[in-house]
Chain A
Amino acid sequence: KQEVTQIPAALSVPEGENLVLNCSFTDSAIYNLQWFRQDPGKGLTSLLLIQSSQREQTSGRLNASLDKSSGRSTLYIAASQPGDSATYLCAVILRGNQFYFGTGTSLTVIP
């Protein structure tokens, strides 16, 4: 069974700092990987989708990388802002569109 782990579970940083969130998975036979953010009491917002043939994706201040062979993905957030405070979830996607979610990293950006 695919297991997805995110470290750290919680992170608190001052505004303006660059940070890295980690996601590791046990089975490298994934199809794609997607990063989401979740604000308290709300649904998930898609941030980046990395397809299996890609090694990274960028959107604005966000950059996500994928290394299937080592079972790892990282989400890099540049110049963090208080509005970035949320829980960040990674999900590995198997063929057939089955998603396995990580446990999440709760990020707090202090003004």
Chain B
Amino acid sequence: KAGVTQTPRYLIKTRGQQVTLSCSPISGHRSVSWYQQTPGQGLQFLFEYFSETQRNKGNFPGRFSGRQFSNSRSEMNVSTLELGDSALYLCASSLEAGGSYEQYFGPGTRLTVT
């Protein structure tokens, strides 16, 4: 069974640009969550999608958004990039939402904003 895949793996953008990251969950998983990991703040929850609906959102500005498609694939978008958005963005999938199921993480997308 293929794991969670994220594309692209590495990305370099300049301030003010926007970026879209993609996540394909494990086949059969319907919940996808996104996280931001930085050395200073650690791992922080961005949002979770289940059945194409955003179920939870972390404490991030509106520049961070996401969506989920009918095949459970998810994208997250960051508009008007700032230097502080440089981070490893991780996507995780689980069978269902609700916290009773293990989350499986992808390898991440390393975003560098210059």
A interface with B by C-beta (< 8 Å): 31-32, 34, 36, 41-46, 49, 51, 89, 91, 93-104
Contacts of B99 in A (CB 8 A): 31-32, 93-98
21 A-B residue pairs with Cβ-Cβ distance under 8 Å, sorted by A, are A31-B98, A43-B4, A43-B106, A45-B105, A46-B102, A46-B105, A49-B101, A91-B43, A95-B98, A96-B56, A97-B31, A97-B48, A97-B50, A97-B55, A97-B98, A97-B99, A101-B42, A101-B44, A101-B45, A102-B42, A103-B42
Contacts of B66 in A (CB 8 A): none
Residue-wise interface mask of B (91-114) relative to A, using a CB-CB cutoff of 8 A (1 in contact, 0 not): 010100111111111111010000
Specify which of A43, A45, A94, A103 is in contact with B108 (CB 8 Å cutoff): A43
Task: Please measure, in the bound complex, the distance between the C-alpha atom of A97 and the C-alpha atom of B107, giving whole angstroms.
Answer: 20
Interface of B is mostly: strand
Contacts of B42 in A (CB 8 A): 101-104
B interface with A by C-beta (< 8 Å): 4, 31, 33, 35, 42-45, 48, 50, 55-56, 58, 90, 92, 94, 97-108, 110
Q: Is B43's CB under 8 angstroms from A101's CB? A: yes
Min distance, Cβ B54 to any Cβ of chain A, angstroms? 12
Q: Give the tally of cross-chain contacts (CB within 8 A).
A: 67
Task: Please measure, in the bound complex, the distance between the C-alpha atom of A99 and the C-alpha atom of B101, giving whole angstroms.
Answer: 12
Contacts of A100 in B (CB 8 A): 45
Q: Is A97's CB under 8 angstroms from B97's CB? A: yes
Residue of A nearest to B106 (CB): A43
Residue of B nearest to A100 (CB): B45
Task: Please measure, in the bound complex, the distance between the C-alpha atom of A93 and the C-alpha atom of B102, giving whole angstroms.
Answer: 10
